[in-house]
Structure 1
Amino acid sequence: MAEKGRLVDLCLFAGKLMVTYGAETYRAEDIMNRMAVAGGLKNVHSFVTTTGIFLSGIQDNGDNLMQMIRIVDRFQDLNKVAEVNQLSRDFVLGRINEQEANEQLIKISAARMNYPLWLIYIASGVAGGAFSYLVGNTKFDMIPAAMGGLMSTLFLVLFQHYLHAKFFSEYLASFFGSIIALALLHSGYGSNVDQVIIGTIIPLVPGIPLTNSVRDLMNGDFISGLGRGAEAALTALSIAAGVATAVSLFLP
């Protein structure tokens, strides 16, 4: 009983990491099912939502096992998703045992992001400036767009660390990023407000939740799909509210 209980804990841990760092619902369920079957459970069933994971199975002696785990935080780190996916393959193929798999999952969970924050900030600035140019900006207008995109990401990381309020942090990040971009425009750096604002907020767009929402809905996982869709919609609303507040302060 205790041995199979540890197996279920391992499967739930893997599923939690998958969902937490941006994997689709069906992918998390598939990994959990395969690991549980490889560990000796029968009649395995898993149910994954964006806020909780359930896993059940039958032991060799006929006893039922069912556990769940709560998901509180959600981030975007597809490298960790790939690492957990590879770990599950190694476990299913017998390359690693249960203890080794658990130790590796702990390392994956505790590992820092592959890219330093300063590089993420620079990439956000480049993305903001480049995207604003693609939608019709001039090269001169790329400066406030790039600075706004960089500062939006910087403020988002800062506010999420200290406030622990996702949507309010996104509102504040878009507000302060837009304020900086509009201040540069007001100082004479550029003239196209619309394109500069687009470049400022593009690093904040919830691309992964929106994509996963569509994929979950197409796969028939309506609870997770609607949940992720609601998260993406609220994120977009928070960003729009921040921009609207900034624009109302700067423009008549």
Structure 2
Amino acid sequence: MEKNRQNFIDVSEICLLAGEIMLASGAETYRVEDTMVRIAHAYGVENAESYVTPTAIIFAVNGELYPAGTKMKRIERRTTDLNKIATVNSLSREISEGKWTMESAYERLKQIKKENISFSVPIQLLAAGIASGCFVIMFLGKWIDVLPGIVAGSIGYFCFLTIHQIVKVRFFSEFVSSLIIGFTANIFVYTGIGDQADKIIIGSVMPLVPGLLITNAIRDLMVGHLISGLAKGAEALLTAFAIGAGIAVAYAIF
């Protein structure tokens, strides 16, 4: 019984850590729950249940060989890191195939949590700038506005990354970044470098738009996770409001 008790503790900690990494990296609620249950089943825990919200994970197990128990983990910070989601997904599949012991899987998950496998800041800024320039053309902007869109998008995303690290207030970084994008676009048009400020702004704010959050909210609603879907939808709406408010203030001042 003592061995079974230790197995229960190990399995629950593995499942909670895997769920924490995925949820904090922007994974859908149903994907987090499914991954946790699959890992528990792979290690012989058949009666496992998980309940996930955007801010907390609850994992419970009950059975003849395992004493009833429930554990909870709060998620205070969430970001978008598809690399970590894919890595944990791959690890969970290998666990289901019996390639990892509980000890080695737990150590690997701790490594994944500590690793910074996201792209470097210069690469992110380059990608944001290129995407902004492409969006300018997509929204029927002129070719003369592509370069201002690239510059404004890169500057705005740099401000977003910097402010997000300094100020922990949600939505403040989006507001300030869009405000700076609005100023930058209008300066380009005022100096004659750009032609259509609205097209430059629309393209430049696209890297800030919570597209993954909106997609996850819809997918959670479709599979029946109403609380998570509504919560993520509200978060996406507030982010969009912060972006719009920043642009509005920039136009009002300029």
Q: TM-score, normalised by structure 2?
A: 0.95
Aligned to 2:191: 187
Residue of structure 2 equivalent to 1:104 = 108
Q: What is the rounded CA distance, in whole Å, between the counterparts of 1:151 and 1:166 in structure 2? A: 20
Higher deviation after alignment, 154-163 or 16-25:
16-25
Shift of 1:40: 2.4
Alignment of 1:52-131 (within 5 A): 52-61=56-65, 63-131=67-135
| 1:44 paired residue number | 48
| C-alpha displacement of 1:22 | 1.4
Please, which runs of 5 or more residues in structure 2 have no aligned partner?
A: none
10-19 vs 109-118, which moves further? 109-118
Post-superposition shift, 1:59? 4.3
Tell me, in whole angstroms, the C-alpha distance in 1 between the residues paired with 2:229 and 2:126. Answer: 32
Structure 2 CA distance, aligned partners of 1:147 and 1:181? 9
The Cα offsets for residues 100-134 of structure 1, whole Å up to 9 and x where unpaired, read as 11111111111113421101101111111111112
Amino acid at match of 1:225: G
Equivalent-residue separation in structure 2 for 1:197 and 1:247 (angstroms): 11
Q: CA deviation at 1:245?
A: 0.7
RMSD: 1.2
Aligned counterparts of 1:176 and 1:5: Cα–Cα separation in 2: 49
Q: Is the counterpart of residue 198 in structure 1 residue 202 in structure 2? A: yes
Q: Which residue of structure 2 aligns with residue 12 of structure 1? A: 16
Q: Secondary structure at the match of 1:46?
A: strand
The aligned residue for residue 155 of structure 1 is 159
Deviation at 1:62, TM superposition (A): 5.2
> Number of matched residues?
250
User: Deviation of residue 170 (structure 1)?
Assistant: 0.8
After TM superposition, give the deviation of residue 98 of structure 1 in Å.
0.9
- Determine helix, strand or coil for the equivalent of 2:224: coil
- Render the CA deviation track for 1:177-218: whole Å, top value 9, x for unaligned: 221221111111112121111012111010110000000000
Match of residue 23, structure 1, among 27, 34, 53? 27
TM superposition score normalised by structure 1 = 0.96
Residue 3 of structure 1 and its aligned partner are, at CA, apart by 3.0
List per-residue Cα deviations over 1:108-162 (Å, max 9, x = no partner).
Answer: 1111134211011011111111111121111111122111111111000000001
Identity across the alignment (%)? 37
- Rounded Cα–Cα distance in structure 2 between residues aligned with 1:9 and 1:143: 49
SS at match of 2:143: coil
Asked if 1:210 is matched to 2:180, the reply is: no
Q: For structure 1, which runs of at least 5 residues remain unmatched after alignment?
A: none
What are the residue-to-residue correspondences of 1:235-250 with 2, within 5 Å? 235-250=239-254
**Is this contact kept in 2: 1:59–1:65, CA < 8 A?**
no
CA distance in 1, matches of 2:156, 2:208: 7
Contact persistence 1:178–1:200 (CA under 8 A): no
Report the alpha carbon displacement of residue 86 of structure 1 after superposing the two structures with TM: 0.8
Q: Counterparts of 1:59 and 1:211 in 2: how far apart (Å)?
A: 36
Instruction: Give 1:226 shift.
Output: 0.5
Query: Which segment is superposed worse, 184-193 or 149-158?
Result: 184-193
CA distance in 2, matches of 1:36, 1:167: 36
Match of 2:139 among 95, 116, 135: 135
The residue matched to 2:252 in structure 1 has which SS? helix
Do the aligned partners of 2:219 and 2:229 also contact (CA within 8 Å) in 1? yes
Q: Distance in 2 between matches of 1:175 and 1:161?
A: 18
CA displacement, residues 59-91 of structure 1 (integer Å, 9 cap, x when unaligned): 444520211100111111111101001111111
